[in-house]
Amino acid sequence: MSAASNASCPVCRTAEVVCGKWTLLVIRDLAEGASRFCELERSLEGISPRTLSLRLRALEEEGIVERHTYPEVPPRVEYALTEKGEALVPLVEDMRRYGTRWLLGDSVALPAAV
């Protein structure tokens, strides 16, 4: 497949958006409802604040996540999925089902002991 056809391929374009490390996990967590930065950071064990910030910003730019800033002291910021982001939730659920069936279940063949 050429680079030009990759750009017009919906699967390739979707993969470009969601396949960054942590991106689908951010979407998974926001599917539960709006969250503050610190809540996301806690639920995504191992993510650095910088990486989380970059992922949220990239998802905002793609129109998948929206940021709500509340005029309070101290300021409160919450992140939520947009309609475009909600449309990705079935993809996350399909991945959960696949992982449960094929990667975590009894059907997984363990490597033979050496």
What's the mean pLDDT in 14-26? 92
What's the mean pLDDT in 53-73? 96
**Amino acid making up residue 56:** L
Is it the case that residue 14 has pLDDT exceeding 50?
Answer: yes
**pTM assigned to the model:** 0.83
Instruction: Note whether residue 113 is domain-resident.
Output: no
Instruction: Note whether residue 10 is domain-resident.
Output: yes
Is it the case that residue 86 has pLDDT exceeding 90?
Answer: yes
Instruction: Note whether residue 24 is domain-resident.
Output: yes
Q: Are strands 65-70 and 35-36 parallel, antiparallel or unpaired?
A: unpaired
Check which CATH number belongs to the domain holding 67 and give it: 1.10.10.10
Domain that residue 87 falls in: 3-103
Instruction: Note whether residue 110 is domain-resident.
Output: no
Is it the case that residue 54 has pLDDT exceeding 60?
Answer: yes
Instruction: Note whether residue 112 is domain-resident.
Output: no
What's the mean pLDDT in 10-31? 93
On average, the pLDDT of the chain sits at 90
Query: Alpha carbon of 114 to those of 107, 110, 111: distances in Å?
Result: 21, 12, 9
Task: Answer with the residue of higher pLDDT: 100 or 110.
Answer: 100
pLDDT of residue 114: 42
Q: Into how many domains does the chain fold?
A: 1
Q: How confident is the model at residue 67 (pLDDT cuts 50, 70, 90)?
A: very high
Q: How confident is the model at residue 113 (pLDDT cuts 50, 70, 90)?
A: very low
Instruction: Note whether residue 32 is domain-resident.
Output: yes
Which of 8, 31, 5 shows the shortest CA–CA distance to 85? 31
Instruction: Note whether residue 13 is domain-resident.
Output: yes
